[in-house]
Amino acid sequence: MEHPDKVGKEATVDVHFTDLPDALIACKVAEDVFGDPLVKASFEALFRSFDSDVTFQFFRSFRRVQIRFSDALLAAQVRARLHKSEFNGKEMRLYFAQVQDATPVINYDLLCAISKLGPGEKYELHTGTPTTPSVVVHVCESEQDGSGAEDDKRGQRVRPKIVQTRRPDYAPPLH
């Protein structure tokens, strides 16, 4: 016998799609999509059947297509319906496009410190630890041509040798 409070009531779930991306990435897209206008139109029509306002960005060298929908709910529905489906003889894989931060991060303290450096000075960006190296910026001493090259005894330019940074010793953690 059912509990009297649950008779005639259904459980509902309130789902918010505002945090999901409104774009999908189609991976391993058939080459014909990029070269044959009819196949490309057919590919676009497949997604336009879900959303007439969909837009496409084709990345031929990666064999990927970014498909942007008018809202995240449509993107989720299309992924559920078409992920691992076949298009033009190839299995199509659809993934949600990662939302990238559009604003670049600028470290003004770092830029200020570097701008104050003179030739031959250095600035430590990151202090090393037992398992990571330190990161240091060195300003070139030669201001003439910016190459760091100097004249040898015959008056010819000699490029300085690039010394490879030694990899820090690594001790695997003990478990």
Same domain, 120 and 81: no
Do the Cβ atoms of 67 and 29 come closer than 8 Å?
Answer: no
The average pLDDT across 2-28 equals: 68
3-state secondary structure 100-134: CCCCCCCCHHHHHHHHCCCCCCEEEEECCCCCCCC
Q: Please check the confidence at residue 164 and state whether its pLDDT lies above 90.
A: no
Give me the CATH number covering residue 79: 3.30.70.330
Q: Find the length of the chain.
A: 175
Q: How confident is the model at residue 103 (pLDDT cuts 50, 70, 90)?
A: low
- Which tokens is 163 given? 């010394």
What are 67-94's pLDDT values in tens digits?
999 999 999 999 999 999 999 988 999 9
What are 34-63's pLDDT values in tens digits?
999 999 999 999 999 999 999 999 999 999
Say how many domains are in the chain: 2
Is residue 18 included in any domain, yes or no? no
Is residue 163 included in any domain, yes or no? no
Torsion of CA 38, 78, 48, 40, to 10 degrees: -20
Residue 73: domain span:
23-96
Q: What pLDDT does residue 95 have?
A: 95
The average pLDDT across 164-175 equals: 77
Do the Cβ atoms of 168 and 133 come closer than 8 Å?
Answer: yes
Q: What pLDDT does residue 59 have?
A: 92
What are 113-158's pLDDT values in tens digits?
777 777 777 777 778 888 888 888 777 765 454 455 556 666 666 6
